[in-house]
Structure 1
């Protein structure tokens, strides 16, 4: 049986960073697999995990639990039967609802395959000050489904956000374990804690219907001789726009960083080739992180998510002007 953990968390809470930390500190003798789902269709996390040593399967373009769970089942079956990992980590989109995923993982058909351990919810406590997030059913149910709450980004916390977390904990979460973390640095031992929270979650209206079939990552590769392409996705009150550029396209370093920092959107995530090397970009609201990446993906990818209507054409025009080749 494969030890399995669900790692949830709202947009920008630090799920991918936390998983990368767990991967960097795993037992080298263990084989790990990651099933990752992104709201947008571009698929950024696979590039970010390219040098992690884990088997990675991406489900871009919406919530993995939709279409009667078919995208998730295909990815799950591929990893379990072909990869035979010692541990599987499932990272749903920040806009994903945990109920259907947990229902699938605990279904009788997977009993011989999956040893479901603790579910972790990565939380940026500042999100508890955001009325839009607090009223979002996915945000609430991600917290409600968790066995362990990881209060992440402690280095960014204010007294107000700490007070908000204390209030939430006393009223809604004190039957579960919580840990504080900075930059997703959590103890791998948390993954082996048992699943204790088996409260029945309500069904999500936003996830109770079928969407159009989602595209696999291979469908997003650039056709021969095409230098770049754009993909759009929308749902659950958010819209995403992403771009892929071929490996020969290089961007002005300062220009692409300023473009990402100033874009009028909620979320920016990407891995971009610049004249100074490969740069990883991660922005949530005003929080903006950049770092170099050693292993190059076969292209540059960047994706933006917004909760309001956005002029993607204007953003695209300014992005294209930053190309050096």
Structure 2
């Protein structure tokens, strides 16, 4: 049987970083797979996880639980049939609701194949100070579905954040395991904790625009001689816009970093080719993290997410001016 863990968490809580940490500690004799979903169609996490040593399947463009779960079922079935992984880690979008995913994973048809273990939910306690996040149904239900709460980004907390976390734990998380960490560095043995949380979750109220066919199981790619493409998405009270550029396009290093740092949006995530090689960009509000890499992806990808419509055309205009080739 394939051991399965759901790794959830709201936007910017550190899910991908945590996945990279867990995959770095994968036993050499085991075959692991990752099923990852993102809000937009660009597929940033696929590029970040591509060299992790695990088999990767992307379901971009919304949430796994939309369209009666068809993309989720297709992706899951393909992984189980083709790869027969020892462990499967599922990362839904930070704007996704966990109920239908858990319902599907516990369905009778999957009982002979899946061993569902503990659900881990990443939490940045600073988000508890944001009414819009705290009152978001997906945020609340992700925490409600968790067996283990991973309070992440401890290096960024202030005294008020710790107090809010303690209050939240007393009110809502008292019966669940809470671990604190930074950079997603958690004990990999947490994955083998049993799934004990059986509480009923409310149905999600989806407000998601679908433009792609529900069977689409790969991120946006370039066709023919196209040098770049753009994709927009909207749902769950958020709007997103992303771009993918071909392998021959490089960007001005200082310019792309300043563009990402100053963009008037809540979330920026990308993997971009620069003169020096490759830079991964991860920004949540004012938190800005960059990392240079040597392994080159087949293209450049970057996505912005905001809690309202942004001027995507103006942002695109300034982004295109940063191309060096």
TM-score under structure 1 normalisation? Answer: 0.97
Task: Please report how far the alpha carbon of residue 276 of structure 1 lies from its aligned counterpart in structure 2 after TM superposition.
Answer: 1.3
Alignment partners' CA distance in 2, 1:7 and 1:92:
7
Matched residue SS, 2:241: strand
Structure 2 Cα separation of the partners of residues 236 and 302 of structure 1: 20
Correspondence for 1:154: 154
Deviation at 1:293, TM superposition (A): 2.1
Alpha-carbon distance in 2 for matches of 1:293, 1:147:
34
Contact 1:279 1:291 survives alignment (8 Å): yes
Distance apart, 1:109 and its partner CA? 0.5
Q: Within 2, Cα distance between the matches of 1:229 and 1:215?
A: 20
Query: Aligned residue for 1:103?
Result: 103
Preserved contact between residue 41 and residue 219 of structure 2 (Cα < 8 Å):
no
Return 5+ residue gaps in structure 2 as ranges: none
Residue pair 2:40, 2:240 contacting (<8 A) in 1 also: yes
- Decide whether the 8 Å contact of 1:50 with 1:295 is kept in 2: no
Q: CA deviation at 1:2?
A: 0.2
Of stretches 117-126 and 288-297 in structure 1, the one that deviates more from structure 2 is 288-297
2:308 paired residue number = 308
Give the equivalent residue in structure 2 for 1:46. 46
Aligned position for 1:234: 234
What is the aligned partner in structure 2 of residue 289 from structure 1? Answer: 289
Question: CA 1:219–1:55 in 2, change beyond 3 Å: closer, same or farther?
Answer: closer
Q: Does the 8 Å CA contact 2:59/2:219 hold for their aligned counterparts?
A: no
Corresponding residue for 1:6? 6
RMSD of the TM alignment (CA)? Answer: 1.3
Are 2:118 and 1:136 equivalent residues in the alignment? no
| Residue 137 of structure 1, CA deviation | 0.3
CA contact (8 A) 2:209 2:235 kept: no
Q: How does 1:35-114 map to 2 (within 5 A)?
A: 35-114=35-114
1:258 counterpart SS class: helix
**What does the per-residue CA deviation read over 1:236-293, in whole Å, with 9 as the maximum and x for residues that have no partner?**
1111100000000000000000000000001000000001110000000000000012
1:324 aligns with 2:324: yes
Report Cα offsets for 1:98-143 as digits up to 9, x if no partner.
Answer: 0000000000000011000000000000011110001000000000
Any residues of structure 2 matched to 1:254-265 within 5 Å, and which?
A: 254-265=254-265
Q: Distance in 2 between matches of 1:266 and 1:217?
A: 26
Give the drift of 1:174. Answer: 1.0
User: Is contact 2:25–2:188 with CA below 8 Å preserved after alignment?
Assistant: yes
1: CA distance between counterparts of 2:277 and 2:59? 27
- SS of the residue aligned with 2:206? helix
Distance 1:42 1:210, change over 3 A: closer
TM-score (structure 2 length as normaliser): 0.97
Rounded to whole Å, the distance in 2 between the matches of 1:142 and 1:262 is 30
Are the aligned partners of 1:148 and 1:178 in contact in 2 as well (CA < 8 Å)? yes
Distance in 2, matches of 1:145 and 1:220, equals: 30
Q: Which residue of 2 aligns with 1:194?
A: 194
Q: Does 1:216 align with 2:223?
A: no
Distance in 2, matches of 1:219 and 1:238, equals: 20
